[in-house]
Amino acid sequence: MNSTADFVDWFRSVAPYINTFRGKVFVIGISGEMITDKNFVSFVHDINLLASLGVELVLVYGAHPQIRQRLNQNQLKIMSSMGTDITDPESLQYIKEAVGRVHLEIEAQLSMGLPNSPMANAAIRVTSSNFVTACPLGIIHGIDFMHTGKVRKIDSQAIQLCLNQGDVVLIPPLGYSPTGEIFSLSMNNVATEVAIALNAEKLIFMLDTLDDNTTPDNTKTLPRELTVAQCKSLLQHQEKNSLSGFSDEIQKSLSCAIKTCETSVSRTHLINRHTDGAILKELFTHYGIGCMVSRGPLESLRKARIDDVGTILQLIEPLEIEGILVRRNRELLEIEIDRFIVFEHDGIIIGCAALYPFPQEHICELACLAVHPAYRNQGHGNRLLKTIEDITVSQGNNKLFVLTTHATHWFIEHGFTEVSLAELPKLKQDLYNYKRKSKVFIKTLKT
Q: Residue 210: pLDDT band by 50, 70, 90 thresholds? A: very low
**Distance (Å, whole) CA 276 – CA 291:** 16
Mean pLDDT of the region 133-139:
91
Predicted confidence band at 31 (pLDDT cuts at 50, 70, 90)? very high
pLDDT of residue 243: 47
Q: Is 86 left (phi over 0), alpha (psi -120 to 50) or beta?
A: beta
Which CA distances in Å does 187 have to 29, 203, 204, 293, 329?
7, 12, 12, 19, 54
Domain 299-444 has CATH 2.40.30.10: no
Q: What is the number of alpha carbons within 13 Å of residue 66 lying toward its C-beta?
A: 22
Tens-digit pLDDT profile for residues 65-113: 999 999 999 888 888 888 888 888 999 999 999 999 999 999 988 887 6
| CA-to-CA dists, residue 179 to 96, 100, 129, 144, 194, angstroms | 18, 21, 17, 19, 22
Nearest Cα to 318, choosing from 238, 376, 267, 239?
A: 376
User: Three-state SS for 260?
Assistant: helix
pLDDT band at 220 (very low <50, low <70, confident <90, very high): very low
Number of H helices, E strands in the chain: 15, 23
CA distance 176 to 174: 7
The model's pTM is: 0.78
363-371 and 399-404 beta bridge pairing: parallel
Average pLDDT in the chain:
88
User: pLDDT at position 219, please?
Assistant: 41
Beta-sheet strands, E only, within 251-360: 267-272, 291-294, 299-303, 340-345, 348-358
pLDDT in tens, 139-187: 888 888 889 999 999 999 999 999 999 999 999 999 999 988 999 999 9
Superfamily of domain 4-294: Acetylglutamate kinase-like (3.40.1160.10)
For residue 328, is pLDDT > 90? no
SS3 of the chain: helix, strand, coil, percent, to 5: 40, 25, 35
Where are the chain's structural domains? 4-294, 299-444
User: Is the CB of residue 312 less than 8 Å from the CB of residue 344?
Assistant: no
Q: How confident is the model at residue 216 (pLDDT cuts 50, 70, 90)?
A: very low
Q: Which of 11-20, 130-139, 203-212, 303-312 has the lowest mean pLDDT?
A: 203-212
User: Residue 55 — pLDDT band, cuts 50, 70, 90?
Assistant: very high
**Which pLDDT score is estimated for 239?**
66
Number of residues written out for the chain? 447
Q: Which residues, listed in sequence order, are joined to residue 444 by a DSSP beta bridge?
A: 399
CB atoms within 10 A of CB 123: 11
Selected residue with higher pLDDT from 275 and 116:
275
**Closest-CA residue to 279 (of 206, 221, 191):** 206
